[in-house]
């Protein structure tokens, strides 16, 4: 940028008493800023030009002009400070709003698996009862078979790894409109936006993927399977009835030998 050099030279020349040359440099700085400068930079050069005018005209004749320029400069500076304060307040409010949104999102997710948590489940059940969850809705109720033995035999760390792996498989088999939830412990539910036949296919993919997975990286010899209960929501059905139907089908799958789906 050329304007700082012109302005600096103009100030030096003014100090030396070379007022004509000083004006030439300061005017050059001002012209440069009018093309590509900011208002605050132009204000700096205008101030130096006003100081030069005082030297050219004399202190007494220019006193009123100087006072006017100084008052204007103070008002402009106060205006700038007010705008900076307003911008800071707006940014602070935006950061607070984002922090609130992040905290709310975090409160709806399970820390271990990254899926929705029980609070998110309750929220979706309320939406279902109020008619705000897009139809059709089919609920999968998924339970890891004999999960207690995984913890007892291989450790709770291995059990946590299994739950994370199940969660990853659920995410991989869900579409954008489907919502997987860690319901409690080793139990999961999935809200599917599909019909009963579509839900059966999704449930079978999930069951097969979990059963076919190699879990030796978690613990040598570890085998994992799940049972799945399926229930389709009907018009007028309360959300709690949808859950109890899926839960009943889940236990039917377990009584029939586990590692299967029931609808």
Amino acid 72: pLDDT: 76
From first to last of its 263 residues, the chain has per-residue pLDDT tens of 688 888 889 899 988 989 999 899 988 888 888 888 787 788 888 888 888 887 877 766 666 666 777 777 778 778 888 888 898 888 888 888 888 877 777 788 999 999 999 999 999 999 999 999 999 999 999 999 999 999 999 999 999 999 999 999 999 999 889 999 999 999 999 999 999 999 999 999 999 999 997 788 888 889 999 999 999 999 999 999 999 999 999 999 999 999 999 99
Amino acid 66: pLDDT: 66
Amino acid 50: pLDDT: 81
Please list the active-site residues.
186
Q: Centre a 10 Å sphere on the Cβ of residue 138 and count the other Cβ atoms it contains.
A: 25
Q: Pick the closest to residue 52 from 96, 12, 103 (CA basis).
A: 12
**Cβ contacts of 48 within 8 Å, gap of 6 or more:** 7, 10, 11, 14, 26
Amino acid 7: pLDDT: 87
- CA distances from residue 239 to 24, 130, 131 in whole angstroms, order as listed: 82, 10, 10
Q: Where are the alpha helices (DSSP H) in the chain?
A: 3-16, 19-36, 39-57, 63-107, 118-129, 147-154, 156-172, 196-212, 239-255
Amino acid 251: pLDDT: 96
What class, spelled out in words, does domain 118-262 have in CATH?
alpha beta
| Angle subtended at Cα 105 by Cα 192 and Cα 147, rounded to the nearest 5 degrees | 55
Secondary structure letter of residue 236 according to DSSP:
T
Q: Centre a 10 Å sphere on the Cβ of residue 109 and count the other Cβ atoms it contains.
A: 16
* Domain ranges in the chain with CATH number 3.30.70.270: 118-262
Edge-to-edge strand order for the sheet containing 261-262? Answer: 179-184, 187-192, 138-144, 226-232, 261-262
Amino acid 254: pLDDT: 95
Secondary structure letter of residue 109 according to DSSP:
B
């Amino acid at each position: 940028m050329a304007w700082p050099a012109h302005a600096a030279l103009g100030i030096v020349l003014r100090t030396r008493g070379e007022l004509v040359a000083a004006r030439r440099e300061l005017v050059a700085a001002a012209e440069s800023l009018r093309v590509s400068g900011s208002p605050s930079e132009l204000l700096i050069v205008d101030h130096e030009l006003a100081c030069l005018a005082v030297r050219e005209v004399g202190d007494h004749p220019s006193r009123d002009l100087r006072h006017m320029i100084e008052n204007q400069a103070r008002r402009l500076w106060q205006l700038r400070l007010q705008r900076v304060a307003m911008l800071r307040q707006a940014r602070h409010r935006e950061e607070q709003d984002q922090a609130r949104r992040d905290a709310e999102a975090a409160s709806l997710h399970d820390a271990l698996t990254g899926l929705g948590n029980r609070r998110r489940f309750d929220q979706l059940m309320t939406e279902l009862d109020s008619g705000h969850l897009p139809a059709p809705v089919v609920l999968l109720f998924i339970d890891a078979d004999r999960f207690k033995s995984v913890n007892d035999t291989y450790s709770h760390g291995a059990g946590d790894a299994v739950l994370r792996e199940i969660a990853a498989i659920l995410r991989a088999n869900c579409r954008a409109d489907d919502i997987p939830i860690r319901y409690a412990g080793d139990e999961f539910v999935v809200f599917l936006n599909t019909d009963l036949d579509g839900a059966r296919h999704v449930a079978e993919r999930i069951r097969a993927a979990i059963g076919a997975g190699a879990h030796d990286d978690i613990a040598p010899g570890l085998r994992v399977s799940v049972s799945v209960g399926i229930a389709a929501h009907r018009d007028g059905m309360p959300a709690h009835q949808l859950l109890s139907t899926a839960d009943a089908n889940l236990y039917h799958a377990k009584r029939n030998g586990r590692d299967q789906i029931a609808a």
